[in-house]
Amino acid sequence: MKKQAPLICVVGQTATGKSSLALRIAQEWNGEIICADSWTIHREVNIGTAKPSMQEQSLVPHHLLDIIGPDEDFNAALFKELANKAIIDIIARGKLPIMVGGTGLYIDSVIYDYSFSAVGSRHSREELNALTLPELLEKIDNLGLELGSIDIRNKRRLIRLIETDGAQPTKGDLRDQTLLIGLHVENDKLKRHVTDRLDAMLASGLENEVRQLSERYGWNCEALKGIGYIQWREYFLGSENRDQVRQKIIQATINLAKRQNTWFQRNKSIHWFDTPVNWYEVVGLITTVLDNNIS
């Protein structure tokens, strides 16, 4: 039986240094990076998303960056498809694929081979969105759909259930030869990292980037709904000052980091590292996986 080629994943909360670790791994083992991030896929949002710089991208090829416009939608199923293509392509060229990112759903869709149920065209999302929770439940009942184990207090879950005609999703085992490296930082330290990173973003012209994007695409634009962007709205309207924006961005980032951590912590296959990462341990871990593959 033919063995699957190795895949290295670097996951974890935002601002833990995933990108730089991935870069180092890629340079050490002749790899290419696949970004599993729901925001860096958008073009034109660069500073606030902490997108890898052109300099970093010239060092190592990055995939799934800048693939859609700021006002275009994206989704996990699409990510899974594109990421799988990228992985196959990288392996075919004899290089090591390294998937890095903090969007847990995107990562899992690839490494656990999620079976996304097709979107039913009979119902428009806009129409369903307008319904209340009880109305959605009634509709589901009328359609004869099984609620299963979904959270019936979460409107989005109910809408999805209707859209998929109640199709039950499936999840596979962890992809063979896949190494999961998780980065974790303690709360206090994380807050410092987040703050420092934001101040660096501000120094490199975040405000200007947001202003230009909001003028060109308007505040309803997808990419401007992200952290680091949406918080400027009141500022440009004149009701808040720069420091309030800064505090709001820090807070939103910390809140996100908490949710990301909850997602990844339940995955018992992840090898966790505290930062700063002990490089030799990483080398040891990766070497084991790669050697195992050769034999």
What is the C-alpha to C-alpha distance for residues 196 and 50, in angstroms, rounded to an integer? 12
**Least distance from RNA to the Cβ atom of residue 184, Å:** 12
**Least distance from RNA to the Cβ atom of residue 100, Å:** 13
CA angle (224 as vertex; 52, 239 as ends), nearest 5: 120
Indicate the residue among 63 and 282 with the shorter CB distance to RNA: 63
**Can you give the binding site for RNA, defined by CB under 7 A?**
37-40, 48-50, 73-78, 102-106, 109, 114-119, 125, 129, 150-151, 153-157, 159-160, 164, 169-171, 187, 225-228, 251-252, 254-256, 258-260, 262-263, 265-266
What is the C-alpha to C-alpha distance for residues 132 and 115, in angstroms, rounded to an integer? 28
Indicate the residue among 95 and 191 with the shorter CB distance to RNA: 191
Amino acid 195 reads: T
**Least distance from RNA to the Cβ atom of residue 146, Å:** 14
For residue 15, give both structure tokens: 């601002």
**Least distance from RNA to the Cβ atom of residue 189, Å:** 12
**Least distance from RNA to the Cβ atom of residue 82, Å:** 10
**Least distance from RNA to the Cβ atom of residue 282, Å:** 23
Neighbours of 196 (CB within 10 A): 11
Residue of 103, 131, 87 whose CA lies nearest to 227: 103
**Least distance from RNA to the Cβ atom of residue 58, Å:** 21
SS3 197: helix
Indicate the residue among 84 and 289 with the shorter CB distance to RNA: 84
Helix axes 242-265, 104-111, angle to 10 degrees: 30
Indicate the residue among 112 and 273 with the shorter CB distance to RNA: 112
**Least distance from RNA to the Cβ atom of residue 3, Å:** 24
CA angle (73 as vertex; 72, 74 as ends), nearest 5: 125
Sign for the CA dihedral angle at 88, 89, 92, 96 comes to negative
Indicate the residue among 34 and 96 with the shorter CB distance to RNA: 34
Indicate the residue among 89 and 113 with the shorter CB distance to RNA: 113
What is the C-alpha to C-alpha distance for residues 3 and 146, in angstroms, rounded to an integer? 38
CA distances from 290 to 18, 46, 134, 138, 178 (A): 20, 33, 53, 53, 10
Residue of 56, 1, 8, 47 whose CA lies nearest to 232: 47
Amino acid 102 reads: G
Indicate the residue among 3 and 259 with the shorter CB distance to RNA: 259
Indicate the residue among 141 and 151 with the shorter CB distance to RNA: 151
